[in-house]
Amino acid sequence: MNLKELQGKLVAVLGFGLEGQAITRYLLKHGIKPVLFDEKIWDKWDKDRQSLIKSLDINFIFGPDCYKELAGFDIIFRSPGIPLSKVKGQRSDVVITSQTKWFFEHCPCKIIGVTGTKGKGTTSTLISEILKLQFRISNFEFQVYLTGNIGKEQPLDFLDNLTKDDWVVYELSSFQLQDLDRSPHIGVVLMVTQEHLDYHKDVEEYCQAKESIVKFQSVEDYSVINMDYESSVKIGNNGAGQKRYFSARGKSGVDCYVKDGAFYLKNNGSSPDEPFVEAKDLQLRGEHNWENVCAAATAAISAGCSLDTVKTGALAFKGLEHRLEFVDEKNGVKYYNDSFSTTPETAIAAIKSFSEPEIVILGGSSKNSDFTELGKTIVESKNIKCLVLIGLESGRILDAINSSGKIEAQILQGAESMQEIFGQIASVAKAGDVVLLSPACASFGMFKNYKDRGEQFKFFVEKFKN
């Protein structure tokens, strides 16, 4: 179906989040007035969203029973948070599409799609940075667009601007992949484990939803597959695309792997004799990110990037903002912003990413998390020299530490602002240390949200620097 065929049709947009808003903008731009549906009642929308909806001058049906009003509509654009089964349960004869499905059907250029349970945002961003670098080096005027949950732009906002020579790097969740009938030119399958079982009925459906990343590929396409996970291999082996494998665990016979802290990458089928980059030289810290670097490197090579460009891009990449992001170094002390860490599991991964002496900022508002494993990790991590405990959860974190054993690390408490936190850091930090903000908790109380917490951290790093 194309835009001309939509003229004169009854079009519904389900969900008015970011994707629903992008779909609505796109349709209105092309002279199509959709009807908006959302299960949230009108009074629950904030005033800005209410004003936006009114300004569109289109009809809307809101409330928990809104989908019962879909009778008579010709085409439905579904937002990813709305299960396909729920929509089909209301209308089995209507055409159901989505922003992602429409984009794949009408995109004139090549797409690199990235899916997986973890690491999609980091891998997608690194791929896009390497591609941009290659285009600058080659003096190409092509554009690289990063989209999906990680992108700053929704895909339908730039679809009309694309040319056949551009590239799109698209982060894809199972929600977006579920009803696709086309696959990207390069499909990247990262680690796949159990997740979103509140949305999918079981693990099998979750994995099946991801198969579209490669299922419809031709022999001219590429599947980039994480060899370290059985589910990833099972998903990636679908379709006719050329298979390229990677392993962060040193598995032999793959296209990219890590061995003894060094990354090896095949270039145009050749076996590497020397590593193209050392893990210790990356600004992107943490062994959990090795898989993402392998995936991005393999995808970039498949897209035609040179080995030198892949190396330069990987070494320059600092990671995503607020996710183990290297901020700066001052007087030999390195500062890392991992404010996105709102669970004990992410804090554990961050702590394990460093061998240098660590000053770790932990705590915040409650999410009813179990800090037992975090306490054990802190006790077992001999390089932690100081803990700065903040917020309502500081006491529970300290109890978990004390229950796991004794530590020699200094414990500082009582700071009620980021400025006071940095005052405490200044009393203990020395050259060679790493200061890590990885709170393991929500941010409310002392900060507006995790972004505000991370921005304040970076502000005071800069203030210390100056």
DSSP helix/strand/coil, 20: helix
List where CATH 3.40.50.720 sits in the chain: 3-101
* CA pair distance 439, 433, nearest whole angstrom: 18
For 26-39, write each residue's pLDDT tens digit.
999 999 999 999 99
340, 454 Cβ separation under 8 angstroms: yes
Tokens 């077992």 locate to 380
Residue 464 has pLDDT above 80, yes or no: no
* Percentages of the chain per state (helix, strand, coil), in multiples of 5: 40, 20, 40
| Both tokens assigned to 410 | 């200094």
| Both tokens assigned to 328 | 């700066």
178: number of Cβ within 10 Å: 24
| Both tokens assigned to 375 | 């306490």
| Both tokens assigned to 126 | 């690194």
* CA pair distance 73, 190, nearest whole angstrom: 38
Better-scored residue on pLDDT, 190 or 205: 190
* pLDDT at position 357: 97
Lowest mean pLDDT among 67-71, 83-87, 143-147: 83-87
Name the pairing type of β-strands 277-278 and 262-265: antiparallel
Paired with 426 in beta bridges are none
* CA pair distance 223, 242, nearest whole angstrom: 6
Q: Which of 350, 329, 328 is nearest to 338 (CA)?
A: 350
Tokens 């210790």 locate to 280
* CA pair distance 163, 187, nearest whole angstrom: 20
- CATH code of the domain occupying 325-465: 3.90.190.20
Q: Which of 355, 369, 360 is nearest to 428 (CA)?
A: 360
| Both tokens assigned to 425 | 């850091």
List where CATH 3.90.190.20 sits in the chain: 325-465
Lowest mean pLDDT among 9-13, 198-202, 378-382: 198-202
Q: Which of 91, 230, 114 is nearest to 167 (CA)?
A: 114
Residue 242 has pLDDT above 90, yes or no: yes
- CA R_g for the chain: 24
Tokens 């250029």 locate to 109
For 205-218, write each residue's pLDDT tens digit.
777 889 999 999 99
Q: What CATH architecture is 3-101?
A: 3-Layer(aba) Sandwich (3.40)
Task: Indicate the average pLDDT of the chain.
Answer: 91
CATH 3.80.10.10, applies to 108-316: no
Residue 199 has pLDDT above 90, yes or no: no
Under 8 Å CB-to-CB from 363, ≥6 apart: which residues?
389, 390, 391, 392, 393, 394, 397, 439, 440, 441
Q: Which of 286, 315, 326, 348 is nearest to 458 (CA)?
A: 326
| Both tokens assigned to 214 | 């490669």
* Residues 403-428 as b or e (16 or more Cβ within 10 Å = b): ebeebebeebeebeebeebbebbeeb
Mean pLDDT value across residues 109-131? 95
List where CATH 3.40.1190.10 sits in the chain: 108-316
Confidence of residue 255 (pLDDT cuts 50, 70, 90): very high
Residue 224 DSSP class? E
* pLDDT at position 465: 61
